[in-house]
Structure formats: structure tokens, C-alpha cells
Structure 1
Amino acid sequence: MPDLYLSGKKTLIIASRKSDLARLQAQSVAEKLKQIYPEIKIQFHYRESLGDINLNDPLWKMPEKGVFTEDFYQDLVKHKVDMVVHSWKDLPIEVKSETRIAATLARADARDVLLFKKTSVGKNNLKLFTSSPRRIYNLDPFFKWSLPWNVEQLEFNTVRGNVQTRIRKLLESVETDGLIVAKAALDRLIQSSSEEFRETREFIKTSLSSLKVQVIPLSQNPTAAAQGALAIEIAKDRHEINKILEKINSKKTYHNVSLERKILAQYGGGCHQKIGISIFNKNKYQILFLKGLTDQGRVLDAQKIDTDLNDDQPSGNQFPRTEAQALHKMAEKEILPKEFSLNQQTQQKPRFFFITKEECLPNIEKDDVIWTSGIKTWRKLAQKGHWVCGSFDSLGEDASPGIDHFFDIQGKAPWIKITHEKGHESSWAKKCATYQVQYKNLESLYDPKVNYYYWSHGELFKSFYEKFPEIKDKYHSGGVGSTLNVLSQYIDSKKIIPCLNYEDWLKSLTKE
């Protein structure tokens, strides 16, 4: 009965693999349980799996399924352990007959990250470590433009082992230039505070001093289904354990990950797939990125925003092009540089810049950390020779980039937001306005026949709205970040149609 566990009369046994990351993940579940059930007693059971023992073969070449998870199955079924904590992405797609995933915690950052040797910067022919067919397929074209020099050839080589082993192999390999790993794994290990993981934590931090970091956007490289999420597996007949886990379960994460796995199953599932899928929530919307190549040779490349939570809003393909207008493509814009001085905080190295547009940049040094608002700004900065660490993917800047812990600094990084005079403030970055934007011909662009507007940013909307407030009765579209926040201040929610970007908006138009 649950009461026996909750009162501490019976010990709850949590199992996981032996690696530092697996133990850390199991302990995070235990900590969550103890927050809710202070009297509960917990014991850990760690063991190696087939995937830990066989470090020679790529996972997708192994004939067995669930090489990191199947070894625990019988222990659950025979009630030798009460639950097993897995990295959910390691679990086979197939549903098991006698066990189930009872719960998960809130998902960590699902993205992949490139760790790249500083000594390899500028090399035209690169060799990168990864064992994932998905990463190889999606990242070859990405790195051709994301890196700030001409990359002529990319070669991907297999690497196995835990996170610290793979980093060590990178540093010891004379020929290899970089390594691709899950950001969630790095985050968990670096941000752990337990003395148990101090050696691993310090090793990774020390290693990062000789590496450059690039966080890969989900729009360009959707991750393995369930990446960043934990799976808490129990035997189906353990109703008392299921009841205990109900209170720590993140329903939103569980729903999104289950949907990712369901979609992947349509294409066969498995580690051999060259398919990435990421489903996540932004504000009240659900966003899906799907990219890859099926076994049958079908190219997948989908980006969708689900407005099912807003049934009173019109769906796509509602408006003819003759009734639609994107003013950023029509307005005559003038960029006027203005004098600025960077905050004293930027005297420390490295400096941290959040750049919204590529206009009127400060003098950027090679070790400065750069984050962009979207992919287009990233591309332009890379073309100018700047290493970009990542991007908000045009999804808004509500929180900081989440990379401060990758750098040798104390506390939070002193981020500086490089933007225009009317750019909005960010809670995590100090604004530095380096230019003004003036629109000269807005009056001539008003057309009463237009019923559907696209706004590239909130300030353009406000400038036009001040002149023509009657547009409040029209339909408006923009990204789900700051633009959507601005629109929501002036326009009825029933008139707002979110989209991912301008290209996504174009898909909502009919030819007529």
C-alpha cells in the first residue's frame, strides 16, 4: 500500500544504470519524491546495461532493442525494484506487456550542442564525433552555414561512452575537431551540486575552457524523440507505486513526449532512423518541428504551430494573397546609427551579447559570446566571421539563453542586448541601443481591402497602428515571442493568428 512507503515503513527501491548521469537522474526523481513525501525512505539500485558493456558498436547497429533499458525489465516484473529511471529517448518505441511509463519530470533543454576545439577554428575539412544517423543527416547542411568560415567537407565518426568519456576522446584525438552531445546531459552534470559528481563536474568545466560551444536550434535539428525527458518505468500491477508517482508527474512533458514517440513510430522508430522530432509549448501554443529522412527515402521537413487550444481562431488557408500584407517587405526603412557606450560589466571577459539584428554592431572580439534572436541574424553574423553560440529561433526571449554555466564566470553572465532605440527591455539582459529605425512611407501603404497583416516585430505594428487604429478590427499574425506579446496588448485574441515566421505565414494564404 502507498501508506507503507509514505510513512517510511517500507523502503522504495529506485533503479538506474551506473553512469554518473543515470545516477544523477535517479537521484533527481528521489529528491522530487522527498519534496512531496518527506517521510519516504529511498534506496538506489545501480547496474550496467548491455549498452554500457558493448562500447564498440554504434547503437543503431546493435540487433537488440533497448540496449540501455531491457536489463531492468525482469527486476521490475519480479518486484525486485519498484521503479527504474531511464533517459526516455533510450526506450524502444514498442509498448511492453508488463511494464509502463508511469511518470516523468519537467523536461530539460532538449537541444543538441556542438563542442568544438578552439584550435580547429577555420579548418575547411572537419571531423566530428557522433553516433547518431539523425544528427549526421540534419547537421551536415546546418554546419555548412552556422560556422563562420567556409566548410568544404564534414566527416562524422562514431563515438561511444558516457558524456565525460566522449569529451575525453575528443580532446585526445588529434584528428577530431568536435563532438555533438545532448545539452540536457551537459546541463545536468555541470549544474549538479552533489560531492558525488564533483570530479565529473570539474572535468567537464575544465574541458570546456578549450572548446567553443554552439547550441543547435530545434528548427534546424529536431532532436531524438523524448530527448531531455526522463521516463519512470514501473510494473503495470504496481498500483500503489503508480499512485505515489502521480503527484510528481509533469503532464505537459508526458503528453508532448508521448506524441513525439507516436509520430516517430509511424516511420518505424529505432536508433537507426534519420528522423528528429521536437514538440514543445510556447505560451498557449504547441509547436512541432519534424526533420529527416525515412527508410523509404521520403524527406521530412515540417514546422507547425497548433492552435487547437484556441478554437475561436481561424485556421490556415483563410485569406487570399490580395487581402494580405506584410509591411516589413514594403515599408521604406532607414537605419540611423546612434552613439552608445557599453556597460562597465562588459570589461570582464568574455563579453555576452544578445543580438537582435546585425545592424550597427559593437566591436566584437573573437572570444565574445553571441546569441541571436533568430536564424537570419545568425546567418548574417556567421557570414561576417562571428561565432554564434545559439539562437532563440524567433520564439521569444522570455528567459536567458541557458549557457552561462558553460563559461568560467561567477554567477549569472552580464548579458548585453544589442538592439534599436525602441527595442524592448529584457529581464535578463541590459539594453544597449546602437541604432534608430525610421519608416518613411507608412501612410502610403494603408489599404482598406487588407484583412490580414503579418508583423515581423512589434514596433512596426505600433508605428502603423498609431496612424491607422482601424486595423484593430483586422486579423494579425506574428511570431509567438515578443511580437505576439505586443499584438496582445492592442488586438482581440480572436483576431490574432500565431505563426512561426514569415515563411510560415505565407503558407496560410490562398492564391486567389
Structure 2
Amino acid sequence: MTSRIRLGTRRSALAQAQSGHVALALEKVSGRAVELVPITSEGDTNRASLSEIGGVGIFATSLRESLLRGECDLLVHSLKDLPTDVPAALTIAATPRRADARDVIVTRDGTPMHELAPGSRIGTGSPRRIAQARIRAPRVTAVDIRGNVDSRLERVRSGDLDAVVLAAAGLSRLDGDPLHGLFAEPMGLAEWPTAPGQGALAVETTADASPELMEALAALDDLDTRIAVTAERAVLAGLDAGCQAPMAAHATVEGDNLRVRAVVYAPHEEWRIGIDVTEALNGGYIRQNGSSNGADAADGADPISAAREMGFAVARRLLERGAADLLPRERS
């Protein structure tokens, strides 16, 4: 096949940058040219707070409709923005190796977040980040913001905000130096876990895509990343909460084991419910807080199924500890 592959992407600079990385990799493995097809999503035109409009699918729905209409051959999403329910007609054909999953706090002078002066204004529209900021620096004021990376950074540069919270992966994927003299403080994942799928991309196509395209996309898939994000998204799905819920989940493959850390935050108070679990992907035992529980072990049929079941088990434990009282229900 020599025809171009059409890759649908949101119009933002960050979306096109990360789609461009996938396009280059796909050209190498397929031997075909890849053309970016910009698509406008609701999330790009609706300026309301994500917490108000729900956030579920607002960055993905228009892209998926274009894919199903045949206007493009595949899509690239930020996985953290993708609903956990994938339509039957579509499939996530690849999850390339994940970039830095951490958040960063960007300031003008490099002041650590916990040392920001009382009343400092920190910009973020994420309920999860707002809750984490309340715990890390109780005296700061969270300001709900929307907009692309450049506009958010400019509000810090101009003095309108004292800090903003951004994904480290987004900054790393933009060309040049988007900080331009600003300072970024990386937040450790142990004390500041991030959204399920953060730092990872999802390459989505139709379930009946050509074998040639599916084979090329399979070459872009990173198994450790797919295992980790499968577990993270299963936690989110098991909690029946949307992408804007005040929760975090981060998983890592450590040898033959999968470690999942998940936290649900109280939306207006400085407390949280968390769990930290390690399970052998080959069907071994779960180690939680130094104890084992063979009844919760995955059956080891395959690592993806094991990761999914582990994520659901983590969600059940969080719900048993009272997480349901802290979470909004997912809206379609």
C-alpha cells in the first residue's frame, strides 16, 4: 500500500506535536506517508470549567465521529482524556511508551509549592490537582483555568497567577523551551500521583481497520505501558467516575510485578482514601502493607487481563473504604 495514512488530531499545538511524534514513528514502520487531519473537539470550543461540563469525552467524541465517518484512518489521544468505555466499533491499537507521568508546578522564581506565600494563586481546572494543592499548600488559592499550555504559562509570566499545574509530558512534547525563563518543580508520584493514563498516548482506529495498518500500529505498542495504563483505567472504570473525578492512579511494571497506587480525594477537605498494591503478573500473590492475600491474585491468563482485574480489585477496595462518598458519578 502506498496511499497516505490520515491521522486525526485535535488542533492544539500540544495535540499536533504529540500526533506528529506518532506520525513519524508510523511512517518508519509502515513505509507510508502520514498526514495530520486537524479536528475541532468540544473541549476546544467550550470554555466552561471541565468540572462543570463533566469532561467525559469532550476531547474525544468529535474525533471518534470523524474516524467512524471515514474522514481519517486513526486518532491520537492523550490517554488521560479518553473515556474508559471504548465503542465496539473502535479499538486502541497502540499505546506507545509513556513519557514522564508527573505533574509540575510552574512558577516565576522557582519557589517550591509548599513555600508559596499565603493567598498565592495557583491555576488548575482539575479537581484532583485542586485537592492535592490543598494538602500540599493549604494556604494557596486554586483558580479554575482553561486554555492551552502557552496561555497558562503566560498568566504566570504576567503575574496574574503565581503558579500553574501542568503535565510534565505535555511540556516535554512541545518544541523548543515553552517555559522561557519560568521554573518547573516536578511533583513526586508517591506524594502527588496523577490521573490514570497521564503521560501516555492512545492510538485508536476502527476495529475493522486493514491488517496492514493494524500490524504497523502494533509495532508502536509498548507492553509495559499498556499493562500499567490498563490497570489505572480499570481503577477509574471500577469507581464509575469520570476523567475529572478527584482521584489519581499510577501503575508501574517492576520486573514480573505490577504496582498500583490509587487515591481518592475529599473535594473540599484535606483528607483522602488511598491504597498501594503490588501483584505478580504471573498469578502470584498480592502484597499490601506487608501482607499477602492469595484470594485477590489474578489468574495469570495474560498480563493485560491480570492488570485489568487488579485495577478493578483496587477500585473495589477503595469503595469499601468509603470512596463512593467522595466521587461524582460519570456522565456520558
Give the structure-2-normalised TM-score. Answer: 0.78
Q: Indicate yes or no: 2:160 matched with 1:187.
A: no
Partner secondary structure for residue 105 of structure 2: strand
Q: Who is 1:67 aligned against? A: 58
Which aligned pairs between 1:80-159 and structure 2 lie closer than 5 A?
80-118=71-109, 123-143=117-137, 153-159=139-145
Q: Who is 1:245 aligned against? A: 217
- How far apart are the structure 2 equivalents of 1:280 and 1:314? 15
Q: Who is 1:363 aligned against? A: none
Paired residues of 1:59 and 1:131 also in contact (CA < 8 A): yes
Q: Indicate yes or no: 2:203 matched with 1:232.
A: yes
Paired residues of 1:223 and 1:278 also in contact (CA < 8 A): yes
**Aligned AA (1:215):** P
Instruction: Tell me the alpha carbon deviations over residues 168-196 of structure 1, each in whole angstroms, 9 at most, x when there is no partner.
Output: 1222244x21100000001111xx4xxxx
**Aligned AA (2:190):** S
Q: Who is 1:290 aligned against? A: 262
Change in 2 beyond 3 A, CA 1:155/1:312: closer
- How far apart are the structure 1 equivalents of 2:287 and 2:61? 46
Partner secondary structure for residue 56 of structure 2: coil
> Alignment RMSD, CA only?
2.6
- How far apart are the structure 1 equivalents of 2:285 and 2:64? 46
Paired residues of 2:76 and 2:202 also in contact (CA < 8 A): yes
Change in 2 beyond 3 A, CA 1:312/1:81: closer
Q: Who is 2:232 aligned against? A: 260
Q: Who is 2:45 aligned against? A: 53
Change in 2 beyond 3 A, CA 1:300/1:34: same
Q: Who is 2:318 aligned against? A: none
Instruction: Tell me the alpha carbon deviations over residues 231-275 of structure 1, each in whole angstroms, 9 at most, x when there is no partner.
Output: 111111214232321111112211211211111111122133110
Which aligned pairs between 1:83-482 and structure 2 lie closer than 5 A?
83-118=74-109, 123-143=117-137, 153-174=139-160, 176-189=161-174, 192=175, 201-202=176-177, 204-206=178-180, 209=181, 211-240=182-211, 241-293=213-265, 299-309=272-282, 311=284, 316-317=290-291
- How far apart are the structure 1 equivalents of 2:210 and 2:118? 58
C-alpha displacement at 1:294, in angstroms? 7.0
Partner secondary structure for residue 140 of structure 2: strand
Change in 2 beyond 3 A, CA 1:308/1:71: closer
- How far apart are the structure 1 equivalents of 2:287 and 2:22? 41
Paired residues of 1:219 and 1:303 also in contact (CA < 8 A): no
- How far apart are the structure 2 equivalents of 1:122 and 1:259? 35
Relative contact order higher in (CA < 8 Å, ≥ 6 apart): 2
Q: Who is 2:302 aligned against? A: none
- How far apart are the structure 2 equivalents of 1:131 and 1:272? 9
Change in 2 beyond 3 A, CA 1:17/1:156: same
C-alpha displacement at 1:97, in angstroms? 2.9
- How far apart are the structure 2 equivalents of 1:262 and 1:314? 19
Which aligned pairs between 1:15-34 and structure 2 lie closer than 5 A?
15-34=8-27
C-alpha displacement at 1:216, in angstroms? 0.8
Paired residues of 2:117 and 2:140 also in contact (CA < 8 A): no
Unaligned runs of at least 5 residues, structure 1:
145-152, 193-200, 319-512
Paired residues of 1:93 and 1:269 also in contact (CA < 8 A): no
User: Share of identical aligned residues, percent?
Assistant: 26
Change in 2 beyond 3 A, CA 1:178/1:244: same
Paired residues of 2:9 and 2:37 also in contact (CA < 8 A): yes
Give the structure-1-normalised TM-score. Answer: 0.52
- How far apart are the structure 2 equivalents of 1:314 and 1:159? 40
Partner secondary structure for residue 71 of structure 1: helix
Partner secondary structure for residue 118 of structure 1: coil
Change in 2 beyond 3 A, CA 1:244/1:114: same
- How far apart are the structure 1 equivalents of 2:285 and 2:246? 37
Higher Rg of the two aligned structures: 1
Paired residues of 1:286 and 1:305 also in contact (CA < 8 A): yes
- How far apart are the structure 1 equivalents of 2:266 and 2:87? 24
Paired residues of 1:49 and 1:67 also in contact (CA < 8 A): yes
- How far apart are the structure 1 equivalents of 2:286 and 2:202? 35
Paired residues of 2:54 and 2:242 also in contact (CA < 8 A): no
- How far apart are the structure 2 equivalents of 1:123 and 1:13? 49
Change in 2 beyond 3 A, CA 1:141/1:258: same
**Aligned AA (2:223):** K
**Aligned AA (1:234):** T
Change in 2 beyond 3 A, CA 1:79/1:294: farther
Paired residues of 1:88 and 1:230 also in contact (CA < 8 A): yes
- Higher mean C-alpha deviation, range 120-129 or range 45-54: 120-129
How many residues matched? 285
C-alpha displacement at 1:118, in angstroms? 1.8
Unaligned runs of at least 5 residues, structure 2:
293-332
**Aligned AA (2:291):** N
- Higher mean C-alpha deviation, range 234-243 or range 281-290: 281-290
